[in-house]
Amino acid sequence: MQARPDAAAEPLLSVRNLNVQFRSNDRLLHIVRDVSYDVRAGELVALVGESGCGKSVSSLAVMRLLSDPTTTRFSGEVRLAGRDYLRLPESEMRRLRGRDIAMVFQEPMTSLNPLMTVGRQIMEPMLEHLDIDRAAARERAIDLLKRVGVTDPKRRMDQYPHEFSGGMRQRVVIAIALSCNPKVIIADEPTTALDVTIQAQILDLLRALVKETGVGLVLITHNLALVARYADRVNVMYGGRIIESGTVEDVLRQPRHRYTAGLLMAVPRLDLPRAARLHTIPGQPPSPARFPSGCAFSPRCGAATAACGSVPADTVTRDRRYACFHPVVDVLPQEGEHAAAGAEHTFGTTVLSVRGLTRHFHLKRRAVVRAVEDVSFDIPQGGTLGLVGESGCGKTTVVRTLLRLQSATSGRADFAGQDILSAGKRDLVALRRQIQVVYQDPSTSLNPRHRIASILAEPLLVHGLCKSQGEARARVEELLGLVGLPAEMAERYPHQMSGGQRQRVGIARALGMNPRLIVCDEPVSALDVSIQAQIMNLLADLQAKLGLSYLFVAHDLAVVRHISDVVAVMYLGRVVETATRAELFSTPRHPYTRALLAAVPSFAADAGQGPEAKITGELPSPLNPPSGCVFRTRCPMAVEACAKVVPPPVAFSDTHRVACIRV
Sheet hosting strand 368-380, strand order edge to edge? 368-380, 350-362, 410-415, 418-419
CB atoms within 10 A of CB 569: 26
Is pLDDT of 360 > 50?
yes
Dist. CA 536–CA 594, nearest whole Å: 25
- Three state DSSP letters for 287-352: CHHHCCCCCCCHHHCCCCCHHHHCCCCCEEECCEEECCCCCCCCCCCCCCCCCCCCCCCCCCCEEE
pLDDT band at residue 497 under the 50/70/90 scheme? confident
The C-alpha angle 33, 37, 42, rounded to 5 degrees, equals: 150
- pLDDT score, position 519: 96
Dist. CA 579–CA 221, nearest whole Å: 32
Dist. CA 397–CA 403, nearest whole Å: 10
Is pLDDT of 330 > 80?
no
Query: Which one-letter DSSP state was computed for residue 51?
Result: T
pLDDT band at residue 2 under the 50/70/90 scheme? low
Q: Comparing C-alpha atoms, which of 433, 460, 635, 598 is closest to residue 518?
A: 433
Is pLDDT of 340 > 70?
no
Q: Which of 217-221, 432-436, 623-627 has the lowest mean pLDDT?
A: 623-627
pLDDT band at residue 322 under the 50/70/90 scheme? very high
Ramachandran class of 57: left when φ > 0, alpha when ψ lies in -120 to 50, beta otherwise:
alpha
Taking each helix axis from N to C end, the angle separating 499-511 and 452-462, rounded to the nearest 10 degrees, works out to 20
Break the chain into its structural domains and give their ranges: 15-100+182-322, 111-181
Dist. CA 440–CA 552, nearest whole Å: 11
Kindly state the average pLDDT of the residues 126-155.
91
296 or 67, which is more confident: 296
Is pLDDT of 608 > 70?
no
pLDDT band at residue 555 under the 50/70/90 scheme? confident
Q: What is the pLDDT of residues 172-199, one digit of tens each?
A: 999 999 999 999 999 998 887 677 887 8
Q: Which of 70-84, 285-299, 601-615 has the lowest mean pLDDT?
A: 601-615
- pLDDT score, position 516: 95
Sign of the CA dihedral running 467, 470, 473, 477: negative
Dist. CA 614–CA 637, nearest whole Å: 11
Sequence-distant (≥ 6) Cβ neighbours of residue 37 within 8 angstroms: 15, 45, 47, 235, 242, 245
Taking each helix axis from N to C end, the angle separating 196-213 and 166-178, rounded to the nearest 10 degrees, works out to 10
Dist. CA 519–CA 351, nearest whole Å: 12
pLDDT band at residue 610 under the 50/70/90 scheme? very low
Kindly state the average pLDDT of the residues 268-295.
85
Kindly state the average pLDDT of the residues 469-484.
94
Rg (alpha carbons) of the chain, rounded to whole number:
26
Q: What is the pLDDT of residues 443-454, one digit of tens each?
A: 788 999 999 999
Dist. CA 20–CA 108, nearest whole Å: 26
Q: Which of 87-91, 346-350, 570-574, 575-579 has the lowest mean pLDDT?
A: 346-350
Is pLDDT of 612 > 60?
no
pLDDT, the chain, mean: 88
Kindly state the average pLDDT of the residues 476-502.
90
Q: What is the largest CA-CA distance in the chain?
A: 76
Instruction: Say if residues 511 and 482 touch (Cβ distance below 8 Å).
Output: yes
Q: Which of 2-11, 306-315, 549-558 has the lowest mean pLDDT?
A: 2-11
pLDDT band at residue 231 under the 50/70/90 scheme? very high
- pLDDT score, position 506: 93
- pLDDT score, position 333: 59
513-545 burial string, b = 16+ CB within 10 Å, else e?
bebbbbbbbbbbbbbbbbbbbbbbbbbbebbee
- Three state DSSP letters for 336-400: CCCCCCCCCCCCCCEEEEEEEEEEEEECHHHCEEEEEEEEEEEEECCCEEEEECCCCCCHHHHHH
271 or 609, which is more confident: 271
Residues of the chain with pLDDT > 90, as a percent, come to 58
Q: Comparing C-alpha atoms, which of 174, 211, 185 is closest to residue 99?
A: 185
Kindly state the average pLDDT of the residues 26-30.
83
- pLDDT score, position 611: 45
Dist. CA 501–CA 503, nearest whole Å: 5
Q: Comparing C-alpha atoms, which of 550, 510, 511 is closest to residue 381?
A: 550
Is pLDDT of 336 > 50?
no
Residue 75 has φ and ψ, to the nearest 5°, of -145, 170
Dist. CA 18–CA 563, nearest whole Å: 41
Is pLDDT of 416 > 90?
no
Q: Which CATH number fits domain 15-100+182-322: 3.40.50.300, 3.40.50.12280, 3.30.465.10, 3.40.630.70?
A: 3.40.50.300
Listed in order, strand segments (DSSP E) in 105-255 are: 184-188, 216-221, 233-238, 241-247
Kindly state the average pLDDT of the residues 9-26.
88
Residues of the chain with pLDDT > 70, as a percent, come to 94
Q: What is the pLDDT of residues 67-101, one digit of tens each?
A: 677 788 889 999 987 888 888 888 888 888 889 99
- pLDDT score, position 404: 94
Q: What is the pLDDT of residues 34-68, one digit of tens each?
A: 999 999 999 999 999 988 888 989 999 999 888 67
Kindly state the average pLDDT of the residues 329-350.
64
Is pLDDT of 541 > 90?
yes
Dist. CA 178–CA 397, nearest whole Å: 38
